[in-house]
Amino acid sequence: MRLIMKILYRVLLILAFIVAVFFIVTLFDVESVYNVVSEWLFPENINRNGELLKIILTVIGGLGIFLSLYIAYRRAKSFEKNVANQTKMISLQNDQLFITRKAQTDERFKNAVEHLGQSEQPIILGGVSELIQIAKEAAVEYSEIVFNILCSYVRAKAYKETRPTFDPNDIIIQTIINYLFKSISTTNILFEKYSADLQKTNLVGFDLNNCNFDNANFSFSILPDIEDSSFKGAIFTCSLFHLGTLKNLNFTNANFDNTLFHEVTLINCNISIAKFYGSFIVDSKIGDCNFSNTYIYMSYILLSEILHCHFNNSRIISTSFNGSVFLNNGDLSLSTCLGNDFRATGFRNSVFTNLVSQSNFRGCFDKDYLMGSLDEVFKYMGTESNRLEIGTVSALNNDCQTGSLTQKDCDDINDLNNQKPSKKDYFKIGCYDRSPQNSRQR
């Protein structure tokens, strides 16, 4: 750029010199001077005057071009400077606008949170709606904070030890559930990447249908009837499902640690890759469920019906099925079946196709219906009908026990049944100890 300026400066000096020369020429005889210059430059050229005129016109034209370029350059620099100034002003205005809006959003957020602490239901609902709107407008800064605040509100108001039977907060809690988890809600997508903490809550009476609770924590909670919802990766430590229907649910990779299913109907649920540890399923019906690749350890499935279920590649270890019935489950292709208690268990069209070890099959019966109680099962003690059907186990190891149900077996099963937890145990914060101390024969 400096080089261009120097060239322009020298060209202007030459132009000034030529102008001065012509000015001087005008004071004298122009024609004689012109002839002298042309003869000096082109002594042998007949058309010397024309050649000199060409040079003069070329110089004048070049100077004009350089002058035009210089003027255009100055205009461009001036325009560039104006654009830079305008950009800076716009940036400053945007920064000021951002600060103003953030201050306004912060104030709205503070007021909305304060509304949650009010006693009037309309004010609280307004606060919930305002928080959701803030999360939508400023998702990066507020979406996770709003999600955690509203989950905390649900935990506080649905706390299982203090929640009354009829609570005006139920409408507020249901509204929050709709905003955060309902699949039909437009805000569900905003919060689906966060894991809800809903521990120690009593959610009976709430509509949890068509919700996405993936990776949520329901430890020590009480759950209602649920349909068409997803609980992938959810945690149900010491949770209670009581007197309800669980239909079309996705429990893939869920964790059931010391969980109680009492008088529950599970229909068409995907429970694959899940884990059961120390859990109870009592007086329940399980139909058309997928337990593929599921791990069941030291659990108790008592007086329950298992119908049309899949157990492909599942591992079942040290688990009791006393008084339960396997109906029309086809091939029970377990990857591991070790140390299980199948005493007084019914099998109909359900065959273990892989190796079964260290398991007790005494008193198994061939029935296509569920016994009403253990007393009904015990009526068959010692009778021939209690003997294990040959087709039930195609790969029975020598360390398994078969034969008729004995009085000791009946006493062991009855003791286990008496030690099963009740729903009242789950209304306490402490987890029920489901480790029966009776020495049952495996």
3-state secondary structure 63-111: HHHHHHHHHHHHHHHHHHHHHHHHHHHHHHHHHHHHHHHHHHHHHHHHH
Same domain, 114 and 60: no
State residue 404's pLDDT score: 81
Q: Percent of the chain having pLDDT more than 70?
A: 73
Same domain, 291 and 365: yes
Q: Of 132 and 393, which is predicted with more confidence?
A: 132
Same domain, 119 and 263: no
pTM of the model: 0.74
Q: What's phi and psi for 336, nearest 5 deg?
A: -145, 130
In a domain, 83, yes or no: no
Same domain, 176 and 236: no
The domain containing residue 123 runs over which residues? 105-202
Same domain, 116 and 255: no
Same domain, 191 and 236: no
Domain count, the chain: 3
In a domain, 217, yes or no: no
Same domain, 304 and 180: no
Whether residue 180 is predicted with pLDDT greater than 90 in this model: the reply is yes
Same domain, 186 and 236: no
Helices (H) and strands (E) in the chain, counts: 9, 17
Beta pairing partners, 290: 270, 310
Instruction: Report pLDDT digits (tens) over 324-353.
Output: 888 887 778 888 999 999 988 888 888 887
Q: Could you say which of 13, 31, 64 is where a domain stops?
A: 64
State residue 391's pLDDT score: 46
Q: Could you say which of 41, 64, 87 is where a domain stops?
A: 64
Instruction: Report pLDDT digits (tens) over 353-382.
Output: 788 889 998 888 776 655 666 666 666 655
Using DSSP, state whether 377 is helix, strand or coil. Answer: helix
State residue 305's pLDDT score: 92
In a domain, 78, yes or no: no
Instruction: Report pLDDT digits (tens) over 77-105.
Output: 778 888 887 877 777 767 676 666 777 88
Same domain, 122 and 238: no
Same domain, 190 and 240: no
Same domain, 407 and 314: yes
Whether residue 11 is predicted with pLDDT greater than 70 in this model: the reply is no
Instruction: Report pLDDT digits (tens) over 42-62.
Output: 676 767 667 767 777 787 777
In a domain, 216, yes or no: no
Mean pLDDT of the residues in the chain: 81
Whether residue 3 is predicted with pLDDT greater than 60 in this model: the reply is no
What is the DSSP annotation of 395-438?
SB-TT-B-SPPPHHHHHHHHHHHHHS--GGGGGSSSPP------
Q: Could you say which of 202, 219, 253 is where a domain stops?
A: 202
In a domain, 182, yes or no: yes
State residue 401's pLDDT score: 85
Instruction: Report pLDDT digits (tens) over 387-414.
Output: 455 345 556 677 888 888 888 888 888 8
The structure tokens listed for 262 are 């009492």
In a domain, 152, yes or no: yes
Question: Which phi-psi region, left, alpha or beta, contains residue 358 (left: φ > 0; alpha: ψ -120 to 50)?
Answer: left
In a domain, 213, yes or no: no
In a domain, 359, yes or no: yes
DSSP, res 146: H
